[in-house]
A and B are shown apart, each in its own frame.
Chain A
Amino acid sequence: MIWPVAFAELRPIFDWLYDMVSSTGLPEPWLSVVIYTGLGAMMFGVLAVLALYLVWWERKISAHIQQRFGPMRHGWHGWYQTIMDAIKLLQKEHVDVATRDKFVFFWAPVMCFVAAFLAYVTIPFGEGLIVADLNIGVLYIMAVTTFTIISLLMAGWGSNNKYALLGGMRSAAQVVSYEVPMVASILVVVVFAGSLSMVDIVRAQDGMFYNWFIFRLPFGPIAFLTYIVAATAEANRTPFDIPEAEQELVAGFNIEYSGMKFAMFFLAEFVNMFTVSAIAVTLFLGGWNGVFLPSWFWFLLKTFAVVLLLMLFRWTYPRLRVDQLMEFAWKFLVPLTFANLILGAWMKYAGWYW
């Protein structure tokens, strides 16, 4: 069967690039530095384009759910609307509050984006398409993405604004609460895969779709659902978006930010959404495994399906109240996920799985 060029495996392109760079005869540590720098720049480009198109996609979906058209003016169905928005944000004046904490205020958006960006070191986009297969992959991603909380707290504190401080505090309390059930539902997968490396976890799900962990684990669907709920809260998205609840906190932690600084928070939010979907796909939905089509295509297809799910959540559910939110995390999700973990471990010991 002949596929168009775009559908071929991407690995040979990267191998060819690697040969090009290594044939220059650089000594070893510097060769790695050059290669990783190139990959980092490439990943930034990919993520920027991805985030722009996720914004466009979200606007179209929200519009169609609310029986509007959404962006229509720029190109076919407004396909370059968000690119124009990005260029506009680049030209915007930064209105900085006079009473801000300068250091904290400046570094918060940088840290927010970098925390989201660092997770992409070890996300497997396809067979062999991973920047570095860290042996503590899952733990690393959990640790790094959690730095987002600190940046949101920094933004809330540095703005010297009551809404921003309240948004930052709420965000920290919420993300911190949903971190526990999220990690507990991930641990079920780690128990069965016996490894923290993202590549090993995908390899443990080789084969047809019934080998995916969502179907193979004793309570796989429950683990997947609790993960998705916790991940939605982690990414600060509706129904868990009280940190930036427009009607009560105006915009939450990013209220005093403008121009590129605001754009970084916005970019990080959508990059985070893609990250949690990519983790869900890697851990529960078989990662790059699939038939006929190349591996990266399957990975992106599944990830965009999960992203679509998160977007539908956002535009169809009402926002939770803050006390409901916290009680749901601590009184329902935490006991449920830990019970799931213990039951899963017991079934692994008893051999009640395939």
Chain B
Amino acid sequence: MTGYLAVLIFLLVGTGIVLFTFFLSRLIRPFNTYPEKSINYECAEDPIGTSWFQFNNRFYIFALIFVIFDVEVIFLFPWAVAYGQLGLYALVEMVIFILILFFGLYYAWKKGVLKWV
């Protein structure tokens, strides 16, 4: 388990060093703000409204398809590791599993979900 201790420590060291560089730059950088400077950048025009508004829901649909495939991939990882000892039965099972998901992908494809409008 000491390997996972390394992960934790790298997490802390990475965060710490980044925060330290921010601190270092805080010591030497100028502070000269005025209201016009901290307006949102919108190609030198005054911004129109807030930017937290509705966006294309294609993003959401693609994320949804991704979640399904990512769960599939998570199931594939243990299968791939143990495949050497499992033989033909595991191969057939996994082909069926992948085909079921690909039927879903085919359905989404035919429905025109994968088309970016």
Contacts and interface: CB of A to CB of B under 8 A. Distances in A.
Given A160-B50, A331-B114, A92 B29 contact: yes
- Report the 5 A-B pairs with minimum CB-CB distance, sorted nearest first: A40-B13, A323-B116, A132-B3, A132-B6, A98-B38
Interface of B: 2-7, 9-11, 13-15, 17-19, 21-22, 24-25, 28-33, 35, 37-43, 47, 50-52, 55-56, 58-59, 62-63, 65-66, 69-70, 73, 76-77, 80-81, 83-84, 87-88, 91, 94-95, 98, 102, 105, 109, 114-117
The interface residues of chain B, by DSSP majority, are classed as: helix
Contact of B6 (A41, A131, A330): A131
A56 B114 CA distance: 39
A90 B21 contact: yes
A250 B41 contact: yes
Contacts of B50: 99, 160
A330 B15 CA distance: 35
A263 B30 CA distance: 17
A76 interface: no
A222 interface: no
B115 A323 contact: yes
Interface of A: 29, 32-33, 36-37, 39-41, 43-44, 89-99, 109-110, 113-114, 117-118, 120-122, 131-135, 139-140, 157, 159-166, 169, 172-173, 176-177, 179-180, 183-184, 187, 190-191, 194-196, 250, 255-256, 259-261, 263-264, 322-323, 326-327, 330-331, 334-335, 338, 341-342, 345-346, 348-349
Contacts of B33: 93, 95-96
Contacts of A184: 73, 76
